[in-house]
Amino acid sequence: MVEPNKKKLAKHADRVLKNYRNFQKLANLSGAFAQCAESLVQEIDDIVARLDDVSRAILVNWYCQKIGQRKTRGQMCRTLDITVAEYQNIKNQGLLDFAKQYRNGVLETLPD
The alpha-helical segments, DSSP class H, found in the chain are 4-18, 20-27, 32-50, 53-59, 73-80, 84-101
Vertex 95: Cα angle to 27 and 84 (nearest 5) = 120
**Can you give the pLDDT of all 112 residues of the chain as single tens digits?**
456 588 999 999 999 999 999 999 999 988 888 899 999 999 999 999 999 999 999 999 999 999 899 999 999 999 999 999 999 999 999 999 999 998 877 777 777 6
Domain 4-102 grouped into CATH 3.90.79: no
- The confidence score (pLDDT) of residue 109 equals 73
Domain boundaries, the chain: 4-102
> pTM of the entire structure?
0.87
- Tell me 31's DSSP state: S
CA–CA gap between residue 24 and residue 29 (Å, rounded): 9
The pLDDT value recorded for residue 112 is 62
